Every structure is written in C-alpha cells, then in structure tokens.
Chains A and B, each alone.
Chain A
C-alpha cells in the first residue's frame, strides 16, 4: 500500500518536473527543473556543483550561503530575496522545495548567481548557459616590502598582475582599495619601521597603519611586476584629505532647495508648499553669501524636478566645499514644531560615536572600525560640526523648541562627497509655523541664520587649514 502511495506521489511530482541543462565551458550537466505558475525553476545544487561551489548553512542566521572568492551570497528556502555582498536583491518568486531539493527560479541564476561568479548566465528554454566568465585570477598580492630610506618610508605592494586601486588616507591609516577581493597568502605584518606599523589584507582592502599622525603620502604604480608604491614622510606637506586639504582658493557652497516640480514636498493647511519656501530661502541665501565672499550654487533655481542623484552629482561635479539641503518638515500631529538638522549616518542605527576603540558600529572587525573611522574623519566630523552650527543658528532664531542635531540615512546626504547637512527649518503642518514660514521677513531671517552658520563653519575650517599649513 505504502509503495503505491509513494508511486502516486512520484507521478504527481514528475508531472511538474522537466529535464534541464546547465552548460559551462565544454561541460553540460543535467539539472532537474520544475515549472510552477508558468515559471521555470532549476535545482540549485547540481548547478553549484558544476561551478565547484557549495551551498552550506548560513553562519549568521537562518538560510544558506554560497561563498565565492570572499563574496557571499545568502538565500533562504522561503524568501524571494537574496543578499549578495550585503545588497538585497529580489527574485521573481521564492524558491520551491520539492522532494527535499531546493529549486530556484531562473532569475536567480541569470541575476545574483551570475554576479557572484562574475559571468553571464543566459536562459534558453530549460537550458542555462554560463558565458563571459571572468577567468582571470583575482588580484594576488605576492609581497609587501617596507624600507626606511632616511626621512621617509617606501612601502611597496607587489602584485602578480595589474590591478586597479584607489588610496584613502586617515589620520594614522592608509587604505588601498581594489574592485575585487585580494588574494594574499601571508599573515598580517608588523614592521620595525619608524613610520609604518603594520599591514593588514582583508577582502578588497589593504590597510597600512602608521606610527604617527601628520604624515605626507605620495602614491604611484610601477609595472613588471605590478607594484603600488607608497612614499610616506613625516609632516603633512601635501594631502588629499577632503576638508583638511590645502586651503582652497575659493569656498563653494552648494545649496539644495528640497523637492520641486511635481514633487511638492510638505503642504501646509493654507496651501503653502515646501518646494516654494525652500527655493525662496535658498535664493535669498546666495546673494548674502556672495557679499561675504562665498560662492553659492543652487541645485535648482526654479520650480523644476531634480532627482536626488542629480543633486548630489551636481554638488560633486562642481567640487563643492559644503552642501546644505533645505527642507520643511511635516507631522501627522499638527502641534509638532521646531527645527532640526541632520547629517549622514553610515550605519542607519548609528547615532553616536563609539564609546571606545574596538566597540563597533558597522560591523564586528577592527578593519570595519577603521573603515568607519576613515570615512568619519574624512567628512562626518565636519558634517557634524556644520550641522551643529546650523542648529545653533536656527535655535537662536526660533528661540523655542530645540529639536537638535541628529543622524539619519538620507539619500541626498549619502551621495555627496563633502561635508553636508540637511536642515528641517520648521513644520509646515503646524499652522503657527506655516504662517511664519510663508512670510518674507521670516524667510529672510532664516536665510541670514543659515548664512551665519556657513560663515562660522568656513571660519573654523579655515583656522584648521591655517594651523595645518604652519
């Protein structure tokens, strides 16, 4: 009886099953497939085996992981989402578990899996074909050499092949970043050198930790074999450290009036619109700044729709020194009032700096802490300082509820590469504040307050530049 039931179940299962193929180089592997609701699903494990990949339980939680060259793909049995290197991606449908086997929708193979192996997977009928696989080896670091040459240290990273790289400087760190994970067989290195303390290779980064602050760095590459050379000397004679670089010949402020065009933003009870008031205030600020010798550009000068990426791109392309996004707030409770100022948080939950080194905000490794610290020292400290100046001036203007300086993961702040803040000038949903915000006198007062904040920030930064230059 039991065998009959099993047979019946098999027949029912087989009715939805088809034979598929996974083609890779000259190999072809048979892959069981299923059709459900007009969609084709391929059994995952045979495809992974063909690629010499393995599905294993996810170490940090429920689900499975597939690791390829330090890249991590996480998937769940009942989830239409997968995470590839921290990015969540949606598939057309959740997986199907049939006969104890995991079947993934075709889009998983043509999308996340193809990106994991850095190739293209095309679907034709019930055949998946992997092409354009980047067979080149990952960047391989063969040696790290550090030589003190009297007055400066030459650190040389020797690679087996040419690699693209970028260099970032922190107060006591130099971070060399690569587009792909770097292969390195050696252990973290400690140096008996007057300037360079250690070298750590992890994932797509090589981190040099220095023994002191106030160093200068010169970076270049040599070929045959490919080498990245870093000349590190005492004293900051040159720098590319954002706001701490040499004093700029001009100080350019990018003013970003929020919303515009069809995007009205917040609306007041009497019909006042956020997009109009923010523009009016920004237009008042520009000539006030010009009078003080500060150039200002607006991301929009009329009632036009400008995307958030465009706003950030505008600021970056013009190499602004400071970015201020102007907004008006709204609340479902119309008594909410006051102004508040935001600057970017790298981690959405990060409200304050870590209490002590090693207590991490964005991850669990010292390297992540250092990365956070690098970014923090590059722009966030200045962004926080600027946000404080803005809020101080707004508090003085309002003389009432102080909502304070906060951090938030806002899109427009995430895109700009300069100190940046977003000010919520007041609540348009509060009838009292709406009345003030539409008035020209108050708009002029707000513009003057924000200009004072910019000038105070510029003065403080200028003081630092002057100190650094001597």
Chain B
C-alpha cells in the first residue's frame, strides 16, 4: 500500500512539472499574446467662451478634452482649457493672464470654482469686465458638464473679493446662453 501511495505521488509530481513546462505553440499560432494596450482616452468636443476681438462679447469656440467619469474632473479640464486661452487669433481670453485654479469642488449641482488671480491684478473695472469673467467660466462649465447647473465663483478663496464691486458672487450664477 505504501508503495502504491509513493507511486501515485511520483506520478502526480511528474504531471505537475510537465504542466509547468512551457509547451511548444501549435503550428500557426502566435507564441506571445500581444501586450495589453492602455485604454484609449475618451475625448470629446467642448464649447468654451472667449471674447470676440471685434465684438467684445462672449462668443463660443470649440475645443477638445479628455473626459472622465468624474464631473468635477471634467469641469476642471474645461477651466484648464479656458485659462489656456483661445487658439483662434480672433478671440481674446476674458480672464486676466496668469489666472490659475485654486480648486474646484462639486456641491450637489453647483460647482464651486475657486480661481487665483495674479497678486498684482487691479480691481476689475466696469460691469462688462466682471460679467465677462464670471460668465465665461459659468457658461463654459455648465454647457460642457451638465451635471452642474450653476457655478459659485470664488476669487482668491472669497466671494467678497475687493476686485469685484458690482456682481453678487455670494450666490451660484446660472449660465447665460
């Protein structure tokens, strides 16, 4: 009985080793499977709002961005594109040069967008300038990321920025399209 047990174990061991050895590929088949490709990033067209150099009004321009399942990440990408400025020379960026993003925070259907204006930015003069900046952000975000119905805009972390003297930023702004 002991011999039979030892024989069974030996056979099992040999079979196991054989299973571990690489077997030659069958004729006509590729030996190595192709390495897995990283999933192609999903991109889509987006509409951004810049100032028309001749009209001085906010007008839509097309761009393209990678999309994410996370609406806040998409909103941030939209803002990155907006801050990068227009490609079309007939358009002008509405935000002061050097503006950056301090953070974006989704809160329900409102995006809190906290922008950092350069430290030497003078107070924004005139309602037109204020509205151009605010609605370039609000329109671009809400049109491209429909999860957000409005944007609460903070400048340098506050909704009572001394740079803005006309618009009420203490409430979310809805798009003006």
Contacts and interface: CB of A to CB of B under 8 A. Distances in A.
B107 to A, nearest CB: 5
B83 interface: no
B51 to A, nearest CB: 7
B105 A78 contact: yes
A161 interface: no
B92 interface: yes
B166 interface: yes
Interface string A328-367: 1111110110000010000111110000000000000000
Nearest to B70: A62
A79 B105 contact: yes
Nearest to B57: A336
Contacts of A409: 167-168, 171, 173
A152 interface: no
B172 interface: yes
B108 interface: yes
Interface residues of A, number: 50
A62 B56 contact: no
Interface in B120-177: 123, 125-129, 131-132, 138, 147, 150, 152, 157, 159, 165-168, 171-176
B167 A266 contact: no
Contacts of A347: 174
A424 B126 contact: yes
B165 A349 contact: no
B109 interface: yes
B166 A335 contact: no
Interface in A315-334: 327-333
B128 A336 contact: yes
A63 interface: yes
Given A333-B51, A333-B53, A63 B126 contact: no
Contacts of A265: 125-126, 165
A331 B129 contact: yes
Interface string B46-80: 00000101001000000000000001100000000
A63 B107 contact: yes
Contacts of B103: 80
Contact of A331 (B71, B128, B138, B175): B128
Interface size class on chain B is 35 or more
B92 A88 contact: no
Chain B interface SS verdict (over half):
mixed
B106 A76 contact: yes
B108 A348 contact: no
Interface string A409-452: 11110100000001010011100000000000000000000000
Contact of B107 (A74, A351, A412): A74
Contact of B126 (A58, A79, A88, A328): A328
Contact of A62 (B92, B106, B176): B106
A90 B152 CA distance: 12
Contact of A348 (B106, B127, B159, B174): B174
B125 A330 contact: yes
B110 interface: yes
Contacts of B159: 88
A263 interface: yes
A246 interface: no
Contacts of B116: none
Choose among A82, A410, A429 the residue with the greatest number of B CB atoms under 10 Å from its CB. A410
Given A79-B112, A409-B173, A424-B127, A263 B56 contact: no
Given A80-B103, A331-B126, 20 more contacts: A60-B109, A61-B106, A74-B108, A78-B105, A79-B105, A88-B172, A327-B127, A330-B129, A332-B129, A335-B56, A336-B56, A336-B128, A342-B127, A349-B150, A350-B174, A408-B131, A424-B126, A427-B128, A429-B125, A429-B126
Interface of A: 58, 60-63, 74-76, 78-83, 88, 90, 94, 259, 263, 265-267, 274, 308, 327-333, 335-336, 342, 347-351, 408-412, 414, 422, 424, 427-429
Interface of B: 51, 53, 56, 71-72, 92, 103, 105-110, 112, 123, 125-129, 131-132, 138, 147, 150, 152, 157, 159, 165-168, 171-176
9 contacts: A58-B108, A62-B72, A80-B103, A81-B105, A331-B128, A332-B132, A336-B128, A342-B127, A348-B168
